[in-house]
Structure 1
Amino acid sequence: MGPRRRGLLRQSTSCGMAMSRIFWDTNLFIYLFEDKSERSERVSALRQRMIEREDELLTSALTLGEILIKPKKMGNDKLAQFYELAISAAATVLPFDSPAALKFAEIRQDRSIQAPDAIQLACASVARADLFITNDNRLTKKNIHGIQFIQSLENAVL
């Protein structure tokens, strides 16, 4: 058994280290798949480090929908299928179900958080994410029960 955090048992890696549950907002997948800048390199390095530490990658079904917009608009079904398979293979895709909907309603009480962001945060919260990584700096200032830390991509520790 792994160490306790906030009353929950955490899984351990094969090395005996605690495994983190890290939620990626949609923009990280966009950088990984479509961007050829240093943001893409940073996301790739972050993912490699997560694999080395045996961290669990989380995202939501909303991410899958958002990432498929461009390939669908271009009529590129092969690219859409590639994105869907790549995300599903690498990450646990969390549903926007009843518990997430209840958390969404709570989060949206803060009207500065837009609905898509609130869905992402709600899914991460219900999944008890240790870290939520985004490139939306407005979200890094929020405190959402169920998420240990919200970090921007540029400040995420590799």
Structure 2
Amino acid sequence: MKSGLEIKLKRVNKVGIDAMCFIYQFQAHLLFGPLTSIMFSRMEDKKLDGCTSVLSLAEILSYPKLQQDRLSWEEERRRFWQTPNLKVEDVDSKICEAASILKVKYSLTFPDAIQVTTAIFSKAEGFVTNDEKFRRVKEVPVILLGDYIK
């Protein structure tokens, strides 16, 4: 039987991915890792396109545990860049300008506003995250991992 997340992801061709999703996947998070695996497996099978801001790399590599272990830091960096079917978008002035509007409109942090703006500019049909504050965003459908925990 397919999970609710699988069904949801089958209905879209492209998703924006919040940085935390990579951390859940790379660290094999007990609760959310199985959910991110559904998404990343679909990407690996070329059934789903993913996009994220280059800020995701900074967020992943600044994870405290990695700062103490250079080999793990390098491994996470490699895994990020080798994620199949993922487009990593640079932050440009247009994204910054639009993100500044969303930051104020939805009381987001600037990095969060950059992430969701990147998804919008990339024409993603959903934004995958586990951060409740994104529920307020109306410009792109938000797919909250927590909604799919049994």
- TM-score by structure 2 length? 0.79
Alignment of 1:4-153 (within 5 A): 20-52=13-45, 54-70=47-63, 72-74=66-68, 76-90=69-83, 91-110=86-105, 112-144=107-139, 147=140, 149-153=141-145
Contact 1:140 1:150 in 2 (8 A): yes
Aligned-residue offset at 1:27: 1.0
Q: Summarize the Cα distance change of 1:101–1:81 in structure 2 as closer, same or farther, 3 Å threshold.
A: same
Q: Answer yes or no: is the 8 Å Cα contact 1:23–1:131 preserved in 2.
A: yes
Post-superposition offset of 1:155: 3.4
Q: CA deviation at 1:33?
A: 1.5
> For the residues of structure 1 that align with 2:56 and 2:125, how far apart are their CA atoms?
18
Distance 1:36 1:105 in 2: 32
**Does the 8 Å contact 1:19/1:54 carry over to 2?**
no
Cα displacement (A) at 1:30: 1.1
Give the helix-richer structure, 1 or 2.
Answer: 2
Work out the percentage of aligned pairs sharing the same amino acid: 23
SS of corresponding position for 2:127: strand
**Partner deviation per Cα, 1:36-71 (whole Å, 9 max, x = no partner):** 313111111222134345211111111100100135
Q: Which runs of 5+ in 1 are unaligned?
A: 1-16
Kindly report the root-mean-square deviation, in angstroms, between the aligned alpha carbons of the 2 structures. 2.3
Q: Which runs of 5+ in 2 are unaligned?
A: 1-9
> In the alignment, residue 44 of structure 2 is paired with which amino acid?
I
Matched residues, number: 136
TM-score relative to the length of structure 1 = 0.75
Contact 1:108 1:114 in 2 (8 A): yes
Q: CA 1:18/1:151 → structure 2, altered by over 3 Å: closer, same or farther?
A: closer
Quick one: which amino acid aligns to residue 78 of structure 1? L
State the structure with bigger RCO (CA 8 A, min sep 6), 1 or 2.
Answer: 2
